[in-house]
Amino acid sequence: MKKKSILFLSFTALLSLYGCTSTPPKEETIFEYKDSYVGDSGAVGNITRPLAEPEGENMGGLELKTTEEPYGIILNYSPDDSIENSNLDYRELALYNASIILALVKNAEWVQFNFVEEEVKVSRDELQDWFVKDLRDFSEEEELRSFIQGQLEDEEKVDEFFRD
């Protein structure tokens, strides 16, 4: 009887120790969706949901263009009536968000932003020529974000991207 109670107590102690040493949940990152495809609406939605929006606008919808190549993504914005937007420059925001999307969505060749006041389309080829780097080569979110932000700090370089 004594052996059974010692065995039971040992087993109970082990169970309680395992319960106390569980690992904390992993922090979610959009890089979980790296190498997803345009046709995966769940992954594309999870990538685009946390991206910055222009002041005075909300993302109103997402369109995935998958019927013919080159595949692309359209983000539609609608006005936020609680905030008045004034002469926004959408270019940096479009470049930043397009860079994130094109780094993570493997077969996307372009991203179009239908902002309230302006439409901006960014292609993978244009971005790669401008950055002189393939954004798909990044393996860490912070490294990618720092790289993009560093490029956007040069206003002349941003202007150069949008020259026809």
- pLDDT number for residue 7: 43
Tokens of 117: 């006041």
Q: For 120-151, b where at least 16 C-beta lie within 10 A, e where not — what string?
A: bebbbeebeebbeeebbebeebeebeebbeeb
pLDDT, one tens digit per residue, over 37-72 is 999 999 999 999 999 999 889 999 999 999 999 999
DSSP 136: G
* Residue whose tokens read 């244009």: 126
pLDDT, one tens digit per residue, over 80-126 is 877 665 567 899 999 999 999 999 999 999 999 999 999 999 999 99
pLDDT at 14 exceeding the cut of 80? no
pLDDT, one tens digit per residue, over 122-164 is 999 999 999 999 999 999 999 999 999 999 999 999 999 998 6
Q: Which SS3 state, helix, strand or coil, does residue 84 take?
A: coil
- pLDDT number for residue 18: 47
